[in-house]
């Protein structure tokens, strides 16, 4: 259930109003269903379906402006992120994910207990091994949670759990953003490489002992002027 489009891409072209609401975790209503329940998940899946439908309808409107289109696309992506969150919360209540969470917590406690004990400071290899096991347990937990969340979505809301599909105008903005980003990164890399290259001077090698001494003095003068 990894996100298919990086957050940076979305931030690159949506409006300021859309950026302000990025990746906000859904919060339950005091009188509403509790997180992790079917009713709570359904509430956000319904919101996702509506947001995707509103965005899709707008893509068919030739009079729709880019600001409205960008906002609708951002709203639909926000609804997708919210649905992803609540699906994950519900998946955490399954026995398989609970077991993975317990294994993750045990691995973390084992690593921290070893790393915090002064008598183990001289055994960095074992500390590194335990840290690696902890990170593997985290990855295993995430994989199981995402798989169970996808299973819930596929079984209970078939075809509904997906991000908005960019139309030609949105896709063009994404493409331009990615191209501009690559160009900026290439320019930055070129500038950094230029800073690390040795400065060329116009000092002639000269000949004989006098020529060598003059060349050394010239090089020192150029080096000094660059500091």
What is the C-alpha to C-alpha distance for residues 26 and 79, in angstroms, rounded to an integer? 9
pLDDT for the residue numbered 65: 92
Q: Angle 222-223-227 (CA atoms, 0-180°, nearest 5)? A: 115
Task: Tell me the pLDDT tens digit for each residue of 142-183.
Answer: 999 999 999 999 999 999 999 999 999 899 999 999 999 999
pLDDT for the residue numbered 2: 35
Whether residue 21 has pLDDT greater than 90: no
Whether residue 193 has pLDDT greater than 90: no
What is the C-alpha to C-alpha distance for residues 121 and 128, in angstroms, rounded to an integer? 11
Q: Per-residue pLDDT averaged across 176-205, rounded? A: 82
Task: Tell me the pLDDT tens digit for each residue of 85-121.
Answer: 999 999 999 999 999 999 999 999 999 999 999 999 9
Comparing 208 with 130, which gets the higher pLDDT? 130
Question: How many CB atoms are located within 10 Å of the residue 129 CB?
Answer: 13
Q: Per-residue pLDDT averaged across 199-213, rounded? A: 58
- The packing angle between helices 124-156 and 38-59, to 10°, is 70
Whether residue 223 has pLDDT greater than 80: no
What is the C-alpha to C-alpha distance for residues 75 and 164, in angstroms, rounded to an integer? 9
Q: What percent of the chain has pLDDT over 90?
A: 64
> If you average pLDDT over every residue of the chain, what do you get?
84
pLDDT for the residue numbered 195: 82
Whether residue 6 has pLDDT greater than 50: no
**pLDDT class of 227 with cuts at 50, 70, 90:** very low
What is residue 2's DSSP assignment? Answer: -
């Amino acid at each position: 259930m990894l996100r298919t489009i990086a957050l940076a891409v979305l931030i690159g072209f949506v409006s300021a109003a859309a950026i302000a609401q990025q990746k906000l975790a859904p919060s339950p209503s005091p009188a509403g269903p509790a997180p992790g329940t079917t009713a709570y998940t359904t509430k956000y899946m319904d919101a996702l379906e509506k947001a995707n439908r509103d965005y899709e309808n707008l893509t068919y409107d030739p009079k729709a402006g880019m600001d409205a289109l960008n906002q609708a696309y951002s709203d639909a992506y926000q609804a997708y992120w919210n649905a992803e969150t609540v699906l994950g919360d519900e998946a955490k209540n399954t026995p398989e994910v609970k077991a993975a969470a317990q294994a993750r917590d045990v691995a973390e406690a084992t690593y921290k207990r070893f790393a915090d004990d002064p008598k183990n400071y001289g055994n960095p290899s074992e500390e590194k091994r335990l840290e690696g096991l902890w990170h593997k347990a985290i990855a295993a937990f995430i994989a199981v949670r995402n798989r169970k969340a996808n299973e819930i979505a596929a079984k209970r809301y078939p075809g509904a759990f997906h991000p908005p599909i960019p139309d030609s105008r949105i896709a063009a903005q994404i493409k331009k953003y990615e191209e501009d980003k690559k160009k900026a990164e290439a320019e930055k890399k070129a500038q950094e490489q230029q800073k690390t290259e040795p400065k060329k001077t116009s000092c002639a090698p000269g000949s004989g002992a006098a020529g060598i001494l003059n060349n050394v003095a010239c090089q020192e003068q150029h080096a000094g002027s660059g500091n």
